[in-house]
Chains A and B, each alone.
Chain A
Amino acid sequence: KQEVTQIPAALSVPEGENLVLNCSFTDSAIYNLQWFRQDPGKGLTSLLLIQSSQREQTSGRLNASLDKSSGRSTLYIAASQPGDSATYLCAAIPNAGGTSYGKLTFGQGTILTVHP
């Protein structure tokens, strides 16, 4: 059974800092690893998707890496801004062909607060 853990549970940083959010998963037989952003009371917005054949993905100030062998992914946010304040969730997507295909297993999230 896949389990996903995110560390830290909460993070508060001053504006401008670079920061790293961590995600670990127990079953390395994943298809993809996806990072989402969630604003309070809202749905999920996909930030970055890393396919199993990739090691990292970048979008603007965001960079996500994936190390399947160690069961870890990190989300790096450069030059953080108050508008980055949200909950960040990672989700593991299992391999095709298995009974869990298409089912996302989420971590509990990291609550990020960036203060001016």
Chain B
Amino acid sequence: DAGVTQSPTHLIKTRGQQVTLRCSPKSGHDTVSWYQQALGQGPQFIFQYYEEEERQRGNFPDRFSGHQFPNYSSELNVNALLLGDSALYLCASRDRDRAYEQYFGPGTRLTVT
């Protein structure tokens, strides 16, 4: 049983560009959350998706958007990249009704130059 997978592993972008990160949830999970972890900090909640809709959102600007597909996989899109967007982006999946069993992927390291 594959766990949560994320792609790509690493990514380097230039300021002003756009980026798309991908996440496949653990088998049987229908809810996906995204977190941003800046260097030396704890992860910060970006947003959560289930039933292909954004259900909760953290304190992130509209430059951060997402999508969930019918197979429950998800994408995180960031437009007009800033240097401060450089971080590890983590995806977590769970069953909708079991918030205490969240599984994290290995993350995507984004570097903005």
Q: Are A99 and B56 in contact (CB under 8 A)?
A: yes
What is the size category of the interface that chain B forms with chain A? 20 to 34
A interface, by DSSP: helix, strand, loop or mixed? strand
Q: Are B41 and A34 in contact (CB under 8 A)?
A: no
Residues of B at the A interface (CB closer than 8 Å) are: 31, 33, 35, 40-45, 48, 56, 58, 88, 90, 92, 94, 99-107, 109
- Fill in one digit per residue for A79-101: 1 if any B CB lies within 8 Å of its CB, else 0: 00000000001010100100111
Q: Are B107 and A43 in contact (CB under 8 A)?
A: yes
Q: Are A102 and B33 in contact (CB under 8 A)?
A: yes
Please indicate the chain A residues that have their CB under 8 angstroms from the CB of B58 in the complex.
103
Q: A31-B100, A96-B99, A108-B42 are in contact. Are A43 and B56 (CB under 8 A)?
A: no
- Fill in one digit per residue for A10-48: 1 if any B CB lies within 8 Å of its CB, else 0: 000000000000000000000110101000011111100
Q: Are B42 and A4 in contact (CB under 8 A)?
A: yes
- Shortest distance between the CB of A91 and any CB in chain B (Å): 8
Interface residue from B33, B99, B104 paired with A44 (Cβ < 8 Å): B104
Please indicate the chain B residues that have their CB under 8 angstroms from the CB of A71 in the complex.
none
A99 to B106, CA, bound (A): 27
